[in-house]
A and B are shown apart, each in its own frame.
Chain A
């Protein structure tokens, strides 16, 4: 595809359930990021993958959050035992290495935890 693709676009789940959010970056982009956007809170950095380097997990809010990137391409963000405060839009972005900060974002996955 031409852009960053995320699925599902909307997810409603019950508190305590696990969810998986998927990101398919732009072909050839070596860097992949996950951000969380909550109402009035801006974009909160979660995790960053760059090539074969160890991911920067410094933004993950708790050990219930994890992410992996398989084959240097598709990434999955997993939230275990979801809580109501996890409700937000989860945005994935990708970039070329050394692209001086230009991130290309997907349209996001809106997560609602009831």
Chain B
């Protein structure tokens, strides 16, 4: 059972455009929703994260939008740059009583073209 569904699988955006990646989760016990960024040959690295008590979190060009009732959250990358080209993973975990065990989506390969 895939508990975190991610789309699209791949995405091509022009430089300066907005990249949007969507995720949906099933387990209502999840209470922590991070996004990880992975470059080829490297391990994933935390990009930004949100808790369900807020609907949006912004850090620089990266914004997470969270819809608790719909059990969905998304990553928006504003003014996308070629250096943003990477694979992005959404994830979810149950911090309260569940430790830090993350359940990941299947990833989105983003390419930002000049």
A-to-B contact residues, CB < 8 Å? 4, 31, 33, 35, 40-45, 48, 50, 56, 91, 93, 95, 99-108
What residues on A are CB-neighbors of B44 within 8 Å? 43, 91, 103, 105
Complex: A4 Cα to B41 Cα, angstroms = 14
What residues on A are CB-neighbors of B105 within 8 Å? 42
Contact B46 A102 (CB under 8 A): yes
Interface size class of B (residues with CB under 8 A): 20 to 34
- Known A-B contacts A31-B99, A42-B89; A101 and B45 likewise in contact (beta carbons under 8 Å): no
Query: Can you list 27 contacts pairing A with B, beta carbon distance less than 8 Å?
Result: A33-B101, A35-B104, A40-B106, A41-B106, A42-B89, A43-B102, A43-B107, A44-B104, A45-B101, A45-B102, A48-B100, A56-B99, A56-B101, A91-B44, A95-B100, A100-B49, A100-B95, A100-B100, A101-B95, A102-B34, A102-B49, A103-B44, A103-B46, A105-B43, A105-B44, A105-B45, A107-B43
Of the candidates B89, B100, B106, which one forms a contact with A101 in the assembled complex, judged by CB atoms under 8 Å apart? B100
Name the distance in Å between A40's Cβ and chain B's nearest Cβ.
7
Contact A42 B106 (CB under 8 A): yes
| Chain B minimum-CB-distance residue to A31 | B100
Of the candidates A43, A99, A107, which one forms a contact with B104 in the assembled complex, judged by CB atoms under 8 Å apart? A43
| Chain B minimum-CB-distance residue to A105 | B43
B-to-A contact residues, CB < 8 Å? 6, 9, 32, 34, 41-46, 49, 89, 91, 93, 95, 99-107
Name the distance in Å between A34's Cβ and chain B's nearest Cβ.
11
- Known A-B contacts A33-B101, A99-B100; A4 and B34 likewise in contact (beta carbons under 8 Å): no
What residues on B are CB-neighbors of A106 within 8 Å? 43
Complex: A4 Cα to B45 Cα, angstroms = 12
Contact A101 B32 (CB under 8 A): yes
What residues on B are CB-neighbors of A41 within 8 Å? 106
Contact B102 A103 (CB under 8 A): yes
- Known A-B contacts A4-B43, A43-B89, A91-B43; A103 and B100 likewise in contact (beta carbons under 8 Å): yes
